[in-house]
C-alpha cells in the first residue's frame, strides 16, 4: 500500500501588532547627562593621551603635571564648546518644529511631535557643557584625568615596543626547546619593559 504525502497548506503569518508593546519610559535626564559626560570625557582623554605620547617622544623637557593640566583644560574646553553648539542646534530645531503637524519628509525634518525629544536633547547637551566647564576648574579632577590619560599613553607605548620585539626578534627556525626558550625570554623582556615604564611613570 502506497502512502501519498499531502502538501500542507502554509499557515498565514499574522502581522505583529506593535500597539501591544508597553510604552518605553524615556531615560531620566541625569542618565542622559552621565552618558554624555562619559563620551565627552573619553574623547577628551584620547586627545590628551595623544599629546602625551607625542611630547614624550619629542620634547626634551621633563614631565610637568601642571603643563598637562593646562592641556587637559584645553581638551575639556573643546568638548564643552561642542556640547554648547549641539544644545544650540537642538534648541533651534525645537523652535522650528513647534506647531508643525504631520510626518517629517526626512530624518531632520522635525515636527511638533519631536518637540519634547528635542527639548531633552537640548537640556542634555547644555548640562554636559555646564558639567565639563565646572570640572575644568577642579584641581583634583584634573589631576586624576591627566593620570588616566598618562596611563593610557604608556600602555600604548609599551604595547608598541613589545609588539615590535615580537615581530623582529623571532628566529626563523627554532626547535621545540628553542621556542620555549624564546617564549621565556620574551616574557621576561615584557616584564622588564613594563617595570621600566612603571618606574618612569613614578619618577615623571
Per-residue pLDDT tens for 25-49?
Answer: 777 889 999 999 999 999 999 999 9
Residue 175 has a pLDDT of 66
Residue 166 has a pLDDT of 67
Delimit the domains of the chain by residue range: 27-203
17, exposed or middle or buried, with CB in 10 Å at 0-12, 13-18, 19+?
exposed
Give residue for cell 566647564: 133
Express each pLDDT in 60-100 by its tens digit.
777 777 888 999 999 999 999 999 999 999 999 999 888 77
- Alpha-carbon torsion 199, 200, 203, 204, what sign? negative
Express each pLDDT in 138-152 by its tens digit.
999 999 999 999 888
Residue 105 has a pLDDT of 65
Tell me the average pLDDT across 143-170: 79
Residue 122 has a pLDDT of 95
Which comes out higher in pLDDT, residue 12 or 90? 90
Amino acid at each position: 500500500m502506497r502512502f501519498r504525502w499531502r502538501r500542507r497548506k502554509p499557515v498565514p503569518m499574522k502581522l505583529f501588532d506593535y500597539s501591544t508593546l508597553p510604552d518605553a519610559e524615556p531615560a531620566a535626564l541625569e542618565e542622559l547627562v552621565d552618558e554624555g559626560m562619559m563620551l565627552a570625557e573619553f574623547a577628551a582623554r584620547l586627545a590628551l593621551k595623544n599629546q602625551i605620547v607625542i611630547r614624550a617622544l619629542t620634547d626634551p623637557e621633563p614631565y610637568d603635571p601642571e603643563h598637562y593640566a593646562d592641556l587637559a583644560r584645553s581638551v575639556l574646553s573643546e568638548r564643552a564648546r561642542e556640547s554648547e553648539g549641539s544644545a544650540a542646534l537642538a534648541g533651534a530645531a525645537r523652535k522650528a518644529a513647534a506647531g508643525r503637524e504631520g510626518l517629517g519628509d526626512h530624518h531632520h525634518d522635525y515636527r511638533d511631535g519631536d518637540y519634547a525629544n528635542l527639548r531633552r536633547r537640548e537640556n542634555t547637551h547644555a548640562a554636559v557643557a555646564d558639567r565639563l566647564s565646572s570640572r575644568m576648574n577642579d584641581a583634583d579632577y584634573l589631576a586624576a584625568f591627566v593620570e588616566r590619560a598618562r596611563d593610557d599613553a604608556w600602555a600604548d607605548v609599551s604595547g608598541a615596543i613589545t609588539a615590535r620585539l615580537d615581530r623582529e626578534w623571532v628566529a626563523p627556525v627554532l626547535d621545540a626547546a628553542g621556542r620555549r626558550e624564546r617564549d621565556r625570554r620574551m616574557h621576561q623582556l615584557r616584564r622588564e619593559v613594563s617595570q621600566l615604564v612603571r618606574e618612569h611613570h613614578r619618577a615623571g
